[in-house]
Chain A
């Protein structure tokens, strides 16, 4: 009990004293995850919209695969990316293994299906609502997708935040492909795992607090966006 209280106060100390090691880790975490979220959104949002407004024979299979990918254990994604990027792997020549790029790739694979799937549901519902109007107004295919993405922007923002939440808290895949190397690929989650193992609770807790704060902020944002959705003015 006492060690928890002590760890908490020590963690506070590290945070408010702007401990450079702590902030380096926080900064890398944000850098990796924000990059992954941007890439995954650029792929996933239009992909979901496209799946929602186009009918083609394999559509159901693509959606089924997407949903299956959403349930992929991150550790397996990590293993997969590891094999791709390792010296002997097909992409080994780029020398990306144990770099932030490798972690971004793994996170993109983990959250793109999530973002595409939420985007697909959102756009599908909005398309059902708008269908007759947009057809009646002669909107081109591109104009339709643009209108749906724009008018669904709140729900889509929620999708990207959900992706952020999933990616920032992910540990398995990141550990495998990043290697948790100090000053290079050590991020919040991998550092917590390591410091806890070493019995260095203050540092682990400081990192944990930051993760919790990030999670709370994200869920608050999702909640606020949901409220403006219902009583909207923007």
Chain B
């Protein structure tokens, strides 16, 4: 199977009504790793992830996957900061991405059931998705993203609105997904989580990729004063 990675961005920018939100960014998403995107609020983490995933149009510069864009699009998934729950049961929510790809109803439901069990939401199969708790919703979002076996998974602060226990469960699920070969790119404002999961760290500031280094290096000897201040927990703007 041909990999969609690496993703090459050359002076890529994202803008909204003429105002530049992110970029110009020179960045390569390599085939291996667990990338964590950090930075203060408003630094452009969300926009950067959406730009890579194609939810945000590339307004300038270049952005190329190793395969044509529409092919690459089929092999990615995105988990949003506030979970988007379809007005369906858990099992139907999980079956939906498969149904979109032409999988038959019975087969999609069978796979959905297996998937729910793996993600610890098996007992909730028949529950109405919008009625779940925050942590359950995010686990469902993750399961729904991974059920299509994407090659690249983007997550935008998936643990921002959930408690410690659900966060730990999500982290375990993410490690399992990574071990199974999913390339993960995730933003977080939780430095502990960045240290626990990150293999390489993207530090964003004012819409720019300020620094991109291996995790040990980023946390021990950051290249710039701003990154140093940020890892120390100082306020960076």
Size bracket, chain A contacts: 10 to 19
Q: Quick check: B128 and A136 within 8 Å, CB to CB?
A: no
Please judge, given known A-B contacts A151-B88, A232-B87, whether A139 and B100 are in contact too, CB under 8 Å.
yes
Q: How far is the CA of A232 from the CA of B87 in the complex (A)?
A: 9
Q: Which of B1-59 contact A (CB under 8 A)?
A: 53, 55
Q: Quick check: A132 and B100 within 8 Å, CB to CB?
A: no
Residue among A133, A135, A136, A233 making CB contact with B86, cutoff 8 Å: A133
Q: Quick check: B77 and A233 within 8 Å, CB to CB?
A: no
A129: CB under 8 A from chain B? yes
- Interface class of chain B by DSSP: mixed
Q: Quick check: A136 and B100 within 8 Å, CB to CB?
A: no
Q: How far is the CA of A147 from the CA of B130 in the complex (A)?
A: 16
Q: Quick check: A130 and B77 within 8 Å, CB to CB?
A: no
Q: How far is the CB of B65 from chain A (nearest CB, A)?
A: 14
Q: Quick check: B128 and A151 within 8 Å, CB to CB?
A: no
B80: CB under 8 A from chain A? yes
B74: CB under 8 A from chain A? yes
- Interface class of chain A by DSSP: helix
A54: CB under 8 A from chain B? no
Q: Quick check: A132 and B55 within 8 Å, CB to CB?
A: yes
Q: How far is the CB of B129 from chain A (nearest CB, A)?
A: 10
Q: Which of A25-80 contact B (CB under 8 A)?
A: none
Query: Chain A: which residue is nearest B141 at the CB level?
Result: A133
Residue among A126, A143, A232 making CB contact with B100, cutoff 8 Å: A143
A137 CB contacts on chain B under 8 angstroms: 77, 96-97, 100
Query: Chain A: which residue is nearest B83 at the CB level?
Result: A133
Query: Chain A: which residue is nearest B99 at the CB level?
Result: A143
Mark interface residues in B109-153 (1 if CB within 8 Å of A CB, else 0).
000000000000000000010110000000000000000000000
B97 CB contacts on chain A under 8 angstroms: 137
Mark interface residues in A96-120 (1 if CB within 8 Å of B CB, else 0).
0000000000000000000000000
Please judge, given known A-B contacts A132-B55, A133-B80, A232-B128, whether A138 and B86 are in contact too, CB under 8 Å.
no
Q: Quick check: B128 and A233 within 8 Å, CB to CB?
A: yes
Q: How far is the CA of A138 from the CA of B76 in the complex (A)?
A: 10
B67 CB contacts on chain A under 8 angstroms: none
A132 CB contacts on chain B under 8 angstroms: 55, 78, 80, 84
Q: Quick check: B84 and A129 within 8 Å, CB to CB?
A: yes
Query: Chain A: which residue is nearest B78 at the CB level?
Result: A136
Q: How far is the CA of A133 from the CA of B76 in the complex (A)?
A: 12
Most buried by B among A135, A137, A139: A137
Q: Which of B55-105 contact A (CB under 8 A)?
A: 55, 73-74, 76-78, 80, 84, 86-88, 96-97, 100
A143 CB contacts on chain B under 8 angstroms: 100
A-B interface, 10 closest residue pairs, ranked by CB to CB distance from nearest: A133-B84, A151-B87, A136-B78, A232-B128, A137-B97, A139-B100, A138-B73, A137-B100, A143-B100, A151-B86
Q: Could you list 15 examples of A-B contacts with CB < 8 Å?
A: A130-B86, A132-B78, A132-B84, A133-B80, A133-B84, A133-B86, A136-B53, A136-B55, A136-B77, A137-B77, A137-B100, A143-B100, A152-B87, A232-B87, A233-B128
